Amino acid sequence: DTAVSQTPKYLVTQMGNDKSIKCEQNLGHDTMYWYKQDSKKFLKIMFSYNNKELIINETVPNRFSPKSPDKAHLNLHINSLELGDSAVYFCASSPYSSGNTEAFFGQGTRLTVV
């Protein structure tokens, strides 16, 4: 069973479109995250949710909107896609948000905006 699964794995879309990436974890964790990895492999946190509540919201354009219908799911919706949004997006989860536990990552979604 996949612990953290995100779909789709690849997403190619045109500028201006709206797209969503879904993420689900079956680990029973309380905390979920979205990270962005750019072309230079640099990882940056975008959002963090703890029990469906937003706890970290880094400086990202408000075209990015996370939604957590329950603590096992954290989806990422992106409006009006731009070329600069092209990256790999990782979903992750951890047992809680205290910082002393490792995060488990999904396989990533490679988003290409053309």
CA quadruple 50, 48, 106, 67: dihedral sign: positive
Q: Which tokens hold the place of 108?
A: 């990533």
Q: Tell me the closest approach of the beta carbon of residue 59 to another protein, in angstroms.
A: 13
Q: Tell me the closest approach of the beta carbon of residue 56 to another protein, in angstroms.
A: 6
> Three-state SS for 23?
strand
C-alpha closest to that of 96 among 25, 29, 46: 29
**Is 108 a binder of another protein (CB under 8 A)?**
yes
| Window 13-32: residues binding another protein (CB under 8 A) | none
**Is 107 a binder of another protein (CB under 8 A)?**
yes
**Is 48 a binder of another protein (CB under 8 A)?**
yes
Please say whether the beta carbons of 102 and 45 come within 8 A.
Answer: no
Residue 110, H or E segment: strand 109-113
**Is 45 a binder of another protein (CB under 8 A)?**
yes
**Is 60 a binder of another protein (CB under 8 A)?**
no
**Is 3 a binder of another protein (CB under 8 A)?**
no
The residue from 14, 28, 39, 42 that contacts another protein (CB under 8 A) is 42
